[in-house]
Structure 1
Amino acid sequence: MKLFSNTFQTLENALNYSGTKQKVISQNIANADTPNYKAKDVQFTASFQNELQASIHAFRTESRHYDFQMKPPIQSGIVTKNSLQYNNNGNSVDMDQEMSDLATNQIYYNAVADRLNGKFQSMQNVIRGGK
């Protein structure tokens, strides 16, 4: 039996995701005027789906069975947006979108940090015996 279930680990992973997204957004903003720079993004769902597919282990018991083609796992959820170009110099950073993503990520981070703080306060209340 786990003492804290998976709540703290899930909240920690959410904070790590938000931190990674913050770094990527900051890099995009810093390179907004760099020629041929391609904007990057953090995609949790693509990484999650890839991990689900990589965790499936299939064993062929009959030669007529289909063989599974496993993709190599993505090391991180950071992807480059190659299909977009907003400037004549080949740069694909949209400053309005980046600033919007920055604000959204800040709200997400604050919500997760507040939830984590509430969990710690609940534990502290239990340790003190409800006092």
Structure 2
Amino acid sequence: MDLVALRQRLVSANIANAETPNYRTKDVDFASQMQSVLEGDQPKISEPAGLAAKSDGNNVSMEREMRLLSENAMRFQIASTLLKTEVRQIKTAIQEGKGA
């Protein structure tokens, strides 16, 4: 969930700075960083390669950011559903333990 929240902040910052001269897009490579986070490492924020810069040096692509926003919303929904399921299982285990 922390990685999803970080990406959400980065995408929001990219959108907010879409008209800021010389602003460079920031992101995390979600797939590769997920393994790093599971191992206890901090995610690395980087500038995605291959983004075309406008004449003012800004390389934010609103289409890309909107796609990432949508993907991130799906990841958050999945993560929160899994977390709810886990909490429900723990709650059930505790309640069954009280009856024994």
TM range (shorter): 0.7 to 0.9
Q: Which runs of 4+ in 1 moved over 4 A?
A: 46-49
Gaps of 5+ in 2: none
Q: What is the TM-score when the length of structure 2 is the normalising length?
A: 0.80
**1:102 maps to which residue?**
69
| 2:51 maps to which of 84, 106, 118 | 84
After superposition, the CA RMSD in angstroms is 2.6
Aligned residues: 94
How far has the Cα of 1:38 moved from its partner?
A: 0.8
Which runs of no fewer than 5 residues in structure 1 stay unpaired?
Answer: 1-14, 53-73
Relative distance call for 1:126 and 1:106 in structure 2 (3 A) is same
Where do residues 52-131 of structure 1 align in structure 2 (5 Å cutoff)?
A: 76-81=43-48, 83-129=50-96
Q: Which amino acid aligns with 1:112?
A: A
Q: Whose Rg is larger?
A: 1
Between structures 1 and 2, the one with greater helix share: 2
- TM-score where L is the length of structure 1: 0.62
- State the identity as a percent: 31
Equivalent position amino acid for 1:85 in 2: A
More strand by share: 1
